[in-house]
Structures are given as structure tokens and as C-alpha cells.
Chain A
Amino acid sequence: MVSAELPENWQDLIAGYVLGNLSEEEAAIVDQLLSDRPELMQEVQAFQDAFHSLAEVIPTEQPPARLRETILSSVGREFNGEPSRSSVALNRPPRSRWMVGAGGAIAAGILLALGLRIASLNAQLQQANAKIETLQQDLQQAQTARPILNTLRQPGTLVYSLQGSDRANAASGSLVMSAEKNQVIILVNNLPELPSGQIYRLWAKVPTETTLAYCGQFNTNEQGFVQLTPSDDICGANPTQMFITIDALSDPTTRGGPVMMQTRT
């Protein structure tokens, strides 16, 4: 989801973020943007996917058949409680065999000790890396949930239940609105993926207004929720009902397209 208040060069910044070539100033801007708008992580993911799509254009190449057997038998042995990585390693021709021959028994002993030490350090390193990966995932999950929790903690927060229209009858979800923080969080399931050039828009029915107030636009994402900062304060003026419509990106925001979801009345 991309809303109007983003800096003009936001794509440039995200591309630089993914490529790892941001200046310190730019990095601070991106950190702030991602903190304020977690939905931008979807864009980051799309840019990362684009970068990694370069893996698609190289010819796939069949590895030697023996590799398949080595890996699968190693997994089978390890599953049965036998050491496997060392066995696999020993199956390969040792690259440093000539050094052992030249150096004699003492050198061989030193190499063996060093090899064991390296193997031990390598195992520790792998464990540490796995731990870091797990912690990074935990951190990401925690950061994902944080905006919802922060919004729910605000006084005067309104929670609506969303139901799909005939156009999206499998869709369901909730909408959390904090007028005080001017924040809306939409949690949706089974809202159809948007066709190219289309966007979902959020509208509020406010008692004091005769027409629906436009609150912002969004796309669905894998996280299952989006965070919006309503473009008009009127959205937070105790709306009696909220609507989600599907619109062309180029459509004006004066009126909505077909209703996809609405709050239960």
C-alpha cells in the first residue's frame, strides 16, 4: 500500500535499502518510514523479490547424481542418530592429503587437532547463526504485531467487525480505529488479490456528513493487516459504518467503486 504522504523518492529509498547502499541520512529516513508505516514492508519484500529474481535467469543445472545419494543418505543416518556431516565430509577426497604426507606424523597430529578445533568452532558458529536467524524472525514478528497493540492501547479505540459483500463473500476481518492517534488498522482474511492498477479504498459514514468520507487506500499483504493514517480527520469522528471499495488507482477519491467489505451494523 502506498499513500500520498510518502516522500517522492520512496521507491529510490527502498531500492537503496534492499541493495544496501543508503547513506546514513537516507537510512534514518527509511527506518522512520518503516516504523511509521509497517505496510511498507510489503514494498520492501517486493523489491527484495525483484532483486532475487536474478536467480531465475540463470540456466538450471543438474548436479551429479552422487550428490543426491550423499545428501539423502546423510539425512537418513542423522535421522537415525548417527553422525552424518563428518561422515559426509570424510567421503570426499581430502584436499589437504598431500600436506599430511609431507609433514609426517607430528604435522598430521597438529592438523587433526586443528581440524577438530575448527569443526567444533564451525558447529558453534552454525548454532549461533541458527539462533540469530530464530531471534531475527521473532523480532520481525514482534515488530509486526506492535502497531496493532499500540493502537488497541489508545483510549477511545473503536473496533468494528468487517464482512464481505457479494463480491467478496469469503472475506472477513476487523477494523481498529484510534481517533486520538489518527490510526486505522484493518485485519482481513480472504480479501481477493487486487488486479493490476486497482486499489482498495476505505470510507467512513459519519453522522454529520451527507456523503462518505474518504479515509485512505491499501493493498492486501501476507501479514494479513494494514495500517492507515486517515487522510481526513472526519474519518475518526465516530463513524457509524465503514466501507471498503475496489477502485482504479486513477479514480478520484470523491466517490468509491463497488463495495467489497463493510462493517456489521
Chain B
Amino acid sequence: MAADFSQSELSTLRQQPDEAVLSALRQGQTQALEVLYDRYASQVYGLAYRILGNSEEAEDLTQDVFLTFWQKDTYQSSRGTLKTFLTTLTRSRAIDRLRAQGTRYRFLQRWQRISDQATIPLIETLAMSEQSDQVRSALAFLSESERQILEIAYYEGLSQSEIAARLNLPLGTVKTRSRQGLIKLRQRLQLSR
């Protein structure tokens, strides 16, 4: 049975860093997952929604990510923050789903999403955290084309040749711009952190 957790214990756990919450989770205190869910569900769901463009799919993937995280317990703090682990897992699985759905469906879905966004205001919290501000500032140093190529690679998982075809650019140009964009992003983030 899961250890009984009082509200005050849960409240204390909410003040703890991820490491301590994870430790409680690994000791069988499943309520610790509640704390981590409340901490990161909006990022996971937001990213899933951004990539998949569909709230039902995003919900399904969010569930998949948190259950996988809990069941497999493969996260290691030495390899990065929990937030990075969860967003990396979310992106990877979201892109797997996009690939499984195929290009035609993806295009229709994205088109639908753009239409939805134009007419239905999303219930979203614009958490302009310091970290996201830093990334926005860093992205401002990239050319429009470099940023666009990186965004397509990240959010859609397209290969360089697929990006070249989409943007009607030579493959070599896509490679050069994506690498230059990433180098600039890494350098600007290094300076700001």
C-alpha cells in the first residue's frame, strides 16, 4: 500500500527540490508524483500540444509521459534536470506519433490547429519565466531563416532534406544555417547563464 500522506506532509514536500520529491517517490510515496505533476504538467502538455496540435492527443501523450516516467524510473539527475528529461521524452514521443501519422495527416492537423488558434482563444498561462526570457533573447540573435529551420527540426522532427524541400532551399544551406543557428543559440545561452 502507498504510505499515507497527510496534507501537511504533502505541503512540505511541495517546498522540496525535485531530488527530494523523487526520493520520496522512489520510496513508494506515490503522492510525490502529484507534486511533480503539478510542477511540470503544464510544460509537458504545452509542448505536446505545440507539436501534435490537438488537445486530445496532447492529453494522451501527457498521460503516457508521466506514467512512463513513474513506471520505468529511468531518470538520472546526473544527466540533466527533471524538466529537461520530461520535455525531451515528450518531444521524442510526440515526434514518433507525428511520424506514425504520416505527412498528409500532419499537414491537415497543423492547418486545423492554425485555424483553431485564429478563432478560439486558448486557455493558456503565459509563464514568462526567466529561463524562457533568456531563450527568447538568445533566439533574437539568430537570422529569421536559422530560427525557422531550428524550429521545424525541433517541433516537427523533420529531417534536413525534408526541411530543404519544405522551404525550397538547397540541402547544404539548410545544414549550414541549422548548425550556425544552434552554435549562436548555445553561445548566447552560455553568456546569459
- Spell out A's residues near B (CB within 8 Å): 11-12, 15-16, 18-21, 45-47, 49-64, 67-68, 70-72, 74-76, 78-80, 84-85, 88, 92, 126, 130, 133-134, 137, 196, 222-223
Asked if B179 contacts A19 (CB within 8 A), the reply is yes
Contact B62 A61 (CB under 8 A): no
Contact B59 A74 (CB under 8 A): no
* From B50, B123, B155, contact of A62 by CB (8 A): B123
List A contacts of B22 (CB < 8 A).
none
CB distance from A138 to the nearest CB of B (A): 11
* CB closest residue in chain A, given B175: A21
- Report whether A15 and B179 are in contact in the complex, using a CB–CB cutoff of 8 Å: yes
A79 CA to B29 CA in the complex, in Å?
Answer: 10
Tell me the minimal C-beta distance from B172 to chain A in angstroms: 10
Interface residue B54 (Cβ < 8 Å from any Cβ of A): no
Which residues of the partner chain A approach B53 to less than 8 Å between Cβ atoms? Answer: none
List B contacts of A80 (CB < 8 A). 1-2
Contact yes or no, B45 A61, CB < 8 A: yes
Known: A79-B30, A88-B63. A59 touches B125 (CB 8 A): yes
Given contact pairs A21-B175, A49-B189, A63-B41, a sample of 15 additional A-B residue pairs in the complex whose CB atoms are under 8 Å apart? A50-B182, A51-B150, A56-B135, A57-B135, A57-B139, A58-B46, A60-B126, A62-B124, A63-B45, A72-B37, A78-B71, A79-B2, A79-B30, A85-B67, A88-B63
> Could you say which of B34, B72, B90 contacts A72, with CB atoms under 8 Å apart?
B34
Between A and B, how many residue pairs show CB distances below 8 Å?
A: 163
B132 on the interface (CB 8 Å rule)? yes
Interface secondary structure of A, over-half rule: helix
Instruction: Report which residue of A15, A60, A71 has the largest number of chain B beta carbons within 10 angstroms of its beta carbon.
Output: A60
Establish whether residues A12 and B179, one from each chain, have CB atoms under 8 Å apart when the complex forms: yes
Contacts of A19 in B (CB 8 A): 153, 160, 178-179, 182
Task: Let me know if B74 and A134 touch, CB within 8 A.
Answer: yes
**A92–B183 Cα gap in the complex (Å)?**
44
- The answer to whether A60 and B189 have CB atoms under 8 Å apart is no
Residue in A closest to B63 when the chains form the complex, CB atoms:
A71
- Nearest CB in chain A to that of B25: its residue: A75
- B88: chain A residues at CB < 8 Å are 52
> What residue of chain B has the Cβ atom nearest to residue A144's Cβ?
B78
Is A21 touching B46 in the complex (CB atoms < 8 A)? no
Partner of B49 from A51, A54, A61, A126 at Cβ < 8 Å: A61
Which of B2, B37, B190 meets A76, CB within 8 Å? B2
Q: Are B87 and A52 in contact (CB under 8 A)?
A: yes
Residues of chain B contacted by A70 (CB below 8 angstroms): 63
The answer to whether B59 and A63 have CB atoms under 8 Å apart is: yes
A134 to B75, CA, bound (A): 10
A16, A56, A134: the one within 8 Å of B175 (CB): A16
Q: Which residue of B lies closest to A140 (CB)?
A: B79
Bound Cα distance from A48 to B40, whole angstroms: 20
Determine whether the beta carbon of A50 is less than 8 Å from that of B189: yes
Q: How far is the CB of B160 from chain A (nearest CB, A)?
A: 5
The reply to whether A76 and B131 contact each other, CB–CB distance below 8 Å, is no
C-alpha spacing A137/B125, complex, angstroms:
35
A62 neighbours in B (Cβ, 8 Å)? 41-42, 45, 123-125
- B155-188 residues with Cβ-Cβ distance < 8 A to A are 155, 159-160, 175, 178-180, 182-183, 185-186
A50 contacts B185, C-beta separation under 8 Å: yes
- Which residues of A sit under 8 angstroms from B59, Cβ to Cβ? 63-64, 67
Contact with A along B20-40 (1 / 0, CB 8 A): 000000001010011001100
CB-based contact A58/B178 at 8 Å: no
